[in-house]
Amino acid sequence: MAGEAEKWVLMVTAQTPTNIAVIKYWGKRDENLILPVNDSISVTLDPEHLCTTTTVAASPSFDSDRMWLNGKEISLSGDRYQNCLREIRARAGDVEDEGKGVKIAKKDWEKLHLHIASYNNFPTAAGLASSAAGLACLVFALAKLMNVKDDQSKLSAIARQGSGSACRSLYGGFVKWVMGKDDDGKDSLAVQLADEKHWDDLVIIIAVVSSSQKETSSTTGMRETVETSLLLKHRAKEVVPKRTLQMEEAIKNRDFASFAQLTCADSNQFHAVCLDTSPPIFYMNDTSHSIKLWNLALMKQLFSRIISIVEKWNRSEETPQVAYTFDAGPNAVMFARNRKAATLLLQRLLFYFPPSSAADLDSYILGDKSILKDAG
Ligand code: DP6
């Protein structure tokens, strides 16, 4: 390793947005490799609003691998981090930085330790897919630092081993996580269905209801569902395979009516599967017992209100205007067919949930901030 005497530090910083599933991943067939029981489809958000920024550094002066998340040191000893680090190190290439006089040969990466600093610009583990952005960003940044030549799809199979939904954040736009068939997980990876420019009209609005961490983690929740829910078996075998094909068609044709119907139906079935779990999981109402009572009441009101506002509104129009989806956390994600529908949606949300009288409704995060101005 040339340049060792100078105790150099080599660094790379990357930024990765989170993604929101419109066909949900829920249930693993292999917990260690993180192989899902069904395909899933998501939309990657614009990095301005919900993203992770990660800096990875290597230096001969580091004596162990360490990581800080939002400024606090966290342990890297878990299997998920270790699997990602091992997979990336195994694919590392030669690196040369002439400016620093550093030359690292492929085999040297096994001996070099890493320091990793990661920041989320949104609440961690509150159902806004922070692990998706975090693990995707980590794998991407490490691959750049170590000159890994694998393409995004191969990298997605590594990120998948950190957190399933992370594989979809390696791409922008509309992304499918193909569940794969192989036992080694090599064919369980993400592919891009359409890039971020494909469906420009679509506006995403996220109501951040609570920044508290969810009580049942996705990992534990889906394990219990796999063990106890018969509905999940039906969903994975009969429902999702057809629904995924229909969703791909809807995205390809920018067919909002089908997109909205499939998105809402899939969110509702995901929560039905959670209810079919023993003991039942209620992500949509009492997500966290630790949340203050008035916040809980607000959340219940928000979920049922948003579902009924959207369902009624769509029925009263010739064609649907808005879709909703809820993940394993208390926040609501809505898709509007265009800016006009987004403006009307925002007006209704602000009317029913005026932020000044509901302090916990922290903010509305928008795909496009100017909508807020249009809404007045
Ligand atoms: C409801 O990817 O967080 O958001 O693989 O155990 O880390 P692990 O789970 P995770 O689960 C996400 C579940 C979901 C649906 C989805 O994003 O598809």
Atom of ligand 1 at shortest range from CA of 270: 1
Which DSSP letter does residue 252 get? H
- Band of pLDDT at residue 325, cut at 50, 70 and 90: very high
If one residue of 23, 25, 168 were mutated to test the ligand 1 pocket, choosing by the most ligand atoms within 8 A of its CB, it would be 25
- How much is the pLDDT for 237? 98
- Residue 303's φ and ψ, nearest 5 degrees, are -60, -50
CA 53-143-68 angle, to 5 degrees, is 40
Atom of ligand 1 at shortest range from CA of 163: 7
| Strand pairing category for 66-69 and 322-326 | unpaired
- How much is the pLDDT for 358? 42
Distance from the alpha carbon of residue 218 to the mean position of ligand 1, in angstroms: 6
Residues with CB under 6 A from ligand 1: 21, 24-26, 34, 40, 129, 131-132, 163-165, 218-219, 327-328
Burial 258-281 (b: 16+ CB within 10 A, else e): bbbbbbbebbebbbebbebbeeeb
Condensed to tens digits (0 to 9), the pLDDT of residues 339-374 reads 999 999 888 877 776 665 444 444 454 444 444 444
Amino acid 365 reads I
Which DSSP letter does residue 283 get? S
Distance CA 270, CA 264 (A): 10
- How much is the pLDDT for 182? 95
Atom of ligand 1 at shortest range from CA of 34: 5
Crossing angle of helices 152-159/130-145, nearest 10°?
130
Distance CA 75, CA 82 (A): 10
Q: What 3-state class would DSSP assign to 278?
A: coil
Q: Atom 7 of ligand 1 has which residue's CA nearest to it?
A: 163
- Band of pLDDT at residue 287, cut at 50, 70 and 90: very low
Which one is predicted more confidently, 354 or 159? Answer: 159
Atom of ligand 1 at shortest range from CA of 329: 1
| Section 97-111 average pLDDT | 92
Distance CA 152, CA 160 (A): 12
Which one is predicted more confidently, 194 or 219? Answer: 194
| Closest of 158, 152, 214 to residue 186, by C-alpha | 158
354 and 360 Cβ atoms separated by less than 8 Å: no
- CB-based burial of residue 149 (10 Å sphere; 0-12 exposed, 13-18 middle, 19+ buried)? exposed
- How much is the pLDDT for 265? 97
Q: Is the ipTM of this complex over 0.90?
A: yes
If one residue of 18, 33, 165, 176 were mutated to test the ligand 1 pocket, choosing by the most ligand atoms within 8 A of its CB, it would be 165
Distance from the alpha carbon of residue 365 to the mean position of ligand 1, in angstroms: 21
Distance from the alpha carbon of residue 328 to the mean position of ligand 1, in angstroms: 8
Distance CA 320, CA 337 (A): 8
42 and 50 Cβ atoms separated by less than 8 Å: no
Distance from the alpha carbon of residue 43 to the mean position of ligand 1, in angstroms: 14
Q: Where are the beta strands (DSSP E) in the chain?
A: 10-17, 19-23, 28-30, 35-36, 40-44, 51-59, 66-69, 72-74, 95-97, 102-104, 113-120, 174-178, 189-194, 203-208, 322-326, 332-336, 363-366
Condensed to tens digits (0 to 9), the pLDDT of residues 167-192 reads 999 999 999 999 999 999 999 999 99
DSSP per position, 11-34: EEEEEEE-EEEEE----EEETTTT
Atom of ligand 1 at shortest range from CA of 177: 18
